[in-house]
Amino acid sequence: MSGFDTLLASVTSTAARPFSDAVTLPRGAYVDPDFAALETRRLFLGDWVCVGRLDEIPEPGDYITHRIVDTPVAVIHQRDGSLAALVTICRHRGAGLLEGCGHADRIVCPYHAWTYDLTGALLGAPFSGDRVDLSSISLPRARTDIWEGWIYVTLDDDVAPLSSRLGSLSSRIAPWYPADHVMVWRANEVWACNWKTLAENFTESYHLFSSHRETLQPYTPTQGVHCEPGEADWNIHWMDTTRPAAKTRPDASAEARRRFPLMHIYPSHVVSTSLERGFWMSLQPEGVDRVRVLWGVTAARSMVPADDAGYAAFRDDIKRTFDAVNLEDRRIVESIARNLRSDHYRPGPLCPKERTLWEFWRYLARRLA
């Protein structure tokens, strides 16, 4: 048996242990490049990736961009109200066509000004004469799906729709009205850690009392963490809060006011949502020890100030709060990445408030074995 086969067998056997006897994954699952390559093929090229929120592109021509492994995509609001996910590589010589978020009536290549309409059809190729048949060239499309206001894209033509796999999760979190949220902040960063380490960090709130002693623990204490069984495509845990939501949804239940869910939609979308606001990340590995982190904050529509000054202050306060929390997490997960390089790392036992990690590893074993 090769070293890689041994590693894969070890991940499988670790995931197969009962939760009462659960331990962390072997070191190789975080540092082995062949294992990372398998994750890329099976998970990120073979499943759904979250790229943002539907409310970010409300008008025809509005777009958001993302990169799935090596492929740049843009989700564009079409003139007929539908969405199209286009691979934004120019069909001439491969230049990138769109970046960030914005609005476009047409897509114009910055290199030689080849021009496409919003559906991806080629409209013009300057100075090409009759050598280019415009009708035969268009940008490739990827599939899209929507769940609770989130937009997902996949490069796999055969994977089942994600929304059809998350119906039970929608039912579970319906009292928190996640589809009624709107985006108020998004950022794109690169952190120096394995993508799974960051997903695991978000997936458990056991660390709040120590890692977020002043920022989160006073309001969402570790003592109020409750895990419950997830399903094949997601896991969930709950946080009690010392600041019950009181400013929105007068018909909301007492439970919805005093607690909120944190979810991991596999492989790489982690999201929390309370009645008032939420936090999310969409993770893309870049090798074994780098992860591109698309993250943002949402808020209930009724919570967002309508005036420009009020909105700016609201947005700045949210950014300041979550920048502080992310810095605390980043220090931890990047230190873990450095330490995982050591041969002296050994798997340790899980605690009761870390059930969600065990469920995530079982998903990995199912998809990778």
Whether 231 and 352 map to the same domain: the answer is yes
Domain limit, last residue, from 124, 147, 170: 147
Q: Percentage of the chain surpassing pLDDT 90?
A: 97
Task: Provide the CA 4 distance to its chain's centre, in angstroms.
Answer: 28
Whether 237 and 292 map to the same domain: the answer is yes
Whether 27 and 72 map to the same domain: the answer is no
Cβ neighbours of residue 82 under 8 Å, at least 6 residues apart? none
Phi, psi for residue 281 in degrees, rounded to 5: -140, 145
pLDDT per residue as tens digits for the range 63-96? 999 999 999 999 999 999 999 999 999 999 999 9
CB burial string 118-135: b at 16+ within 10 A, e below? bbbebeebeeeeeebeee
What is the structure's pLDDT at 49? 98
Contact status, residue 61 vs residue 77, Cβ threshold 8 Å: yes
Whether 198 and 290 map to the same domain: the answer is yes
Whether 80 and 184 map to the same domain: the answer is no
Whether 9 and 75 map to the same domain: the answer is no
User: 3-class DSSP state for residue 117?
Assistant: coil
Question: How confident is the model over 211-224, as a mean pLDDT?
Answer: 96
Question: How confident is the model over 23-48, as a mean pLDDT?
Answer: 97
Domain count, the chain: 2
With a cut of 90, say whether residue 107 has pLDDT above it. yes
CA 31 vs CA 315, 335, 340: distances in Å: 37, 14, 7
pLDDT per residue as tens digits for the range 236-283? 999 999 999 877 888 999 999 999 999 999 999 999 999 999 999 999
pLDDT per residue as tens digits for the range 44-59? 999 999 999 999 999 9
Tokens of 4: 């890689």
Q: How many CB atoms lie within 10 A of CB 154?
A: 23
Phi, psi for residue 331 in degrees, rounded to 5: -60, -40
Range of the domain at 69: 50-147
Rounded to 10 deg, the angle between the 195-203 and 355-368 helix axes is: 140
Phi, psi for residue 318 in degrees, rounded to 5: -65, -45
DSSP state string for 80-108: TS-EEEEE-B-TTT--B---SEEE-SSEE
Contact status, residue 82 vs residue 75, Cβ threshold 8 Å: no
pLDDT per residue as tens digits for the range 299-350? 999 999 999 999 999 999 999 999 999 999 999 999 999 999 999 999 999 9
Rounded to 10 deg, the angle between the 195-203 and 308-339 helix axes is: 120
Across-strand partners of 273? Answer: 278
Whether 77 and 194 map to the same domain: the answer is no
pLDDT per residue as tens digits for the range 171-189? 999 999 999 999 999 999 9
User: 3-class DSSP state for residue 264?
Assistant: strand
Question: How confident is the model over 96-122, as a mean pLDDT?
Answer: 98
Question: How confident is the model over 91-112, as a mean pLDDT?
Answer: 98
Across-strand partners of 186? Answer: 296
Instruction: Calculate the average pLDDT of the chain.
Output: 96
Contact status, residue 77 vs residue 144, Cβ threshold 8 Å: no
Asked whether residue 152 is assigned to any structural domain, the reply reads: no
Whether 229 and 193 map to the same domain: the answer is yes
What is the structure's pLDDT at 369? 86
The Cα 114–Cα 126 span in angstroms is 7
User: 3-class DSSP state for residue 237?
Assistant: strand
Question: How confident is the model over 32-47, as a mean pLDDT?
Answer: 97
Whether 200 and 296 map to the same domain: the answer is yes
Q: Is the N-terminal amide bond of 267 cis, ω within 30° of 0?
A: yes
Residue 334's identity, in one-letter code, is E
Asked whether residue 155 is assigned to any structural domain, the reply reads: no
What is the structure's pLDDT at 1? 62
Asked whether residue 90 is assigned to any structural domain, the reply reads: yes
DSSP state string for 113-130: --EE-TTSBEEE-TT-TT
What CATH number is given to the structural domain containing 212?
Answer: 3.90.380.10
Whether 34 and 56 map to the same domain: the answer is no
Quick one: DSSP state of residue 226?
Answer: E
What is the structure's pLDDT at 2? 79
Question: How confident is the model over 3-19, as a mean pLDDT?
Answer: 96
